[in-house]
Structure 1
């Protein structure tokens, strides 16, 4: 295992500076909530950390199943067998340099990484591919530092559109196409692996379960004798870093082994939900691992620079934890 690259310095990004006066104090060490009244996403879910100087993505943008994807391959693929890894991002999405660099890090460890645009050209306002002309009111609100409630509304409205019924079918289109285009990697790994960060963490959890079609497609597919048809799991194993928007019910039906990177006192993946999930998995004999990192912000596991040495070290440890879990399964 190679030593993961970590940050060397951490000037605050302009976006983070612009929102400092508008946010309220968070109970998450080193983090701030996006806006007062919005607890669904944290600042680290929607704003990239500074990208390390001189570094850039090495993969390629293409399409699988009609969906935009970023693909990063090991340098010796296909001459040396690889395994297919699905990387599901937070709200910063497909075009974030940091997310692409995160994919490249796993590719350097031997995984063929596919990172889909889960939001299907509906990016979060303010992120890389959001176009001002689509809805200038949001951008003007951010530029003029208007009320926290306005920003919270913009984010919450976007998040309300990103339901499992909308997002999972997009992911599954990519999965089915990847099975054809990269059949060798799927066969070599005995299935598809997944890592999920923040919003993508919940999607990885859902992909690890056997779920009714009501979850995947928004409608029940019933058999007169068997009742509601269930499908999944879609992944062989998964690793989840600081998940957001997870409910107790999301753990129901989990079948695939899962590792969790958790943050102490994380209001976005609170103790009650996390405790229920750990208990459920263990009672149902699902192999799992929960590791808590203290003194770090929610979102710390995503590639990017930090000034605080403790956060840099924890980021490297979290990557190693996730990588070790994937390698062991």
Structure 2
């Protein structure tokens, strides 16, 4: 495995201030948050695959809007059929029981349907995908431009990614990693480096000091080190897409 299963660090954090500007609609049997760029273009899309807090978590909606303000049409599906984990849930919450209710067999069809919707309804030219924690696995699994799936990928503090899934990617992948992260620790990061090097595909791994798992979504923005890491990880994704999506 190139990253470990999720833990309690996957739902702890701080809610960020701001007013999301996107909208929620329904595709087949799941909801989706969409956010358009200023010119309403859908040529280049960001498929945003969330952590376990889901598509209605304000921090993630604000991030989606940030990608839209950088010129991308953003499509953020509900991976959990209305059953996300709450931010900082009460003591006694059983994460692994919750995870057992959201296996690959229920998540994968949502990702597939989202890609189909982007290709067929919105007529996107290319799809970039962003995966935070839980969502990272599905960015990796669908990073196959030759198969008309995801063209370019970016993941932050990934979880549940299997080594064989990483070995099988077919496109450029960037990773934002936290210095302190039991889910994606040093040995898993180094294992991923070796795998990515062997793919002969473009890759980038940025390691951010002074932060923990979840920093790209749920960090305390009053901490200037964490704020810098979050903002820089976002810019890492945008620059990666500008280079490898719009070439």
TM-score of the pair, normalised by structure 2: 0.89
Q: How far 1:108 sits from its partner (Å)?
A: 0.2
1:197 matched residue in structure 2: 132
Q: 1:108 pairs with 30, 55, 69, which one? A: 69
1:206 aligns with 2:141: yes
Once the two structures are overlaid, the 10-residue window that deviates more, 108-117 or 297-306, is 297-306
Once the two structures are superposed, residues 237-256 of structure 1 have per-residue CA deviations (whole angstroms, 9 ceiling, x without a partner) of 01111111223222131111
Instruction: Indicate the RMSD between aligned Cα atoms, in angstroms.
Output: 2.3
Question: Alpha-carbon deviation of 1:76?
Answer: 1.6
Q: How does 1:72-151 map to 2 (within 5 A)?
A: 72-78=35-41, 82-124=43-85, 126=86, 142=90, 145=91, 150-151=92-93
Residues 86-140 of structure 1: per-residue CA shift (max 9 Å, x gap): 001101101111111110000000000000001122323x459xxxxxxxxxx8x
Per the alignment, residue 15 of structure 2 pairs with 50
Partner of 1:267, secondary structure, is: coil
> What displacement does 1:279 show?
1.0
Cross-structure match for 1:262: 177
Distance of 2:8 and 2:232 partners within structure 1: 22
Aligned equivalents of 1:324, 1:195: Cα separation in 2: 13
Provide the aligned length of Structure 1 versus Structure 2.
241
Deviation of the 1:209 alpha carbon: 5.0
Q: Alignment partner of 1:302: what SS?
A: helix
For structure 1, list consecutive stretches of 5 or more residues without a partner in the other structure.
1-37, 129-138, 211-230
Asked if 1:67 corresponds to 2:33, the answer is: no
Gaps of 5+ in 2: none
Aligned counterparts of 1:116 and 1:274: Cα–Cα separation in 2: 27
Partners of 2:113 and 2:35 in 1: CA distance: 19
Distance 2:29 2:63 in 1: 23
Which structure has the larger Rg? 1
Offset at residue 208 of structure 1 (A): 1.3
Distance 2:219 2:208 in 1: 17
- Post-superposition, which runs of at least 4 consecutive aligned residues in structure 1 deviate over 6 A? none
Taking structure 1 as the reference length, what is the TM-score of the superposition? 0.68
Query: In 2, distance between residues paired with 1:65 and 1:180?
Result: 14
Q: Which one of 223, 234, 239 corresponds to residue 154 of structure 2?
A: 239
